[in-house]
Amino acid sequence: MVKQKLKRWIDNNINNKKRKDSDSMKYRYKLSKVIEKFINDCVLEEINIGCSDSQVIKIIKNDSTYFLKIARLGLITSEYEKLKWLDNKLDVPKVILYDKDDVTEFLITESINGEMVCSDKYIQDPMLGLNVIAQAFKKILEVDINDCPFDVSIDYKLKLVENNVKNKLIDISQLSESALNKFGNLENILEFLKINKFSEEKCFSHGDTSLPNIFALDNKFSGFIDVGECGIADKWFDLAICEKSIKRNYGEEYISKFYEELNIIPDRDKIEYYLLMMELYL
């Protein structure tokens, strides 16, 4: 899922970390025995991403780097299943360990080599970043969807945002001024999205192609993180998310250069549709 608060935090490069050992780290959830054994005597670094539903911890173990994600039961299941399916299909973190109990899930993955394409290096040279992003999109489109079991197409997304609206999970004060002025309220946006649903150009979709989820090493694409919403979907969804992140990180003037790098003529109607849909994401 495109978690707006999380993305704002990362895109603005606010980094609040606490470096500790396994004994002094404070955990929001009780660890399983398997996890305790893995992190014993490791150097730990909590990644404070402002997300109340999960805890993310960087692990340094035998000169290797891993990430531990801890959350309530059910919140990590999709990401775990998709990482396993994507193994040898796309450059994503390798699953090292998955465990769960009656209330909690745990997922340990290897780190992706390189740096985000919204790091200072690429902020200072956006065209270099756009070249890496183009490489990343090429890799996405190479994933064969014939045996893909994950459907995250437009109907799935509409149900998702409808649930957010009906359960009053969206803060209307966080809507963009343009959306608020045009539609007035969340219900009108939802209705517009339902009425104007269109035929999709289905392919494999990462599901959250924000710049913090795309990594580069030596100016070459090195991998994706955050694949919990990947699956079969419309190609314009990933493009719209990436466009929004490029605007925030590189500047609006690089949006046209983004599509030029991909050799794609942007379908503004579909892109604007998904940008509007994102207003109803958490």
The sign one gets for the Cα dihedral 68, 74, 78, 84 is: positive
Bridge partners of 65, per DSSP, are: 60
Top-confidence residue, 121 or 8:
121
Q: How far apart are CA 166 and CA 72, in angstroms?
A: 23
- pLDDT over 90 at 1, yes or no: no
Q: How far apart are CA 185 and CA 176, in angstroms?
A: 11
**253-275 pLDDT tens trace:** 999 999 999 999 999 999 999 99
pLDDT of residue 23: 58
Measured CA distances, 51 to 5, 48, 70, 71, 210 (Å): 8, 8, 11, 10, 17
Buried b (16+ CB within 10 A) or exposed e, 173-192: eebeeebbeebeebeebbeb
Top-confidence residue, 29 or 107:
107
The sign one gets for the Cα dihedral 186, 213, 239, 75 is: negative
**191-200 pLDDT tens trace:** 999 999 999 9
**87-119 pLDDT tens trace:** 999 999 999 999 999 999 999 999 999 999 999
Structure tokens that stand for 10 in this block: 């990362």
Active site positions, annotated: 208
- pLDDT over 50 at 15, yes or no: no
The answer to whether the pTM exceeds 0.85 is: yes
The average pLDDT across 153-168 equals: 97
Structure tokens that stand for 222 in this block: 């090195």
Q: Which domains does the chain have, with CATH numbers?
A: 15-110 (3.30.200.20), 115-280 (3.90.1200.10)
**176-228 pLDDT tens trace:** 999 999 999 999 999 999 999 999 999 999 999 999 999 999 999 999 999 99
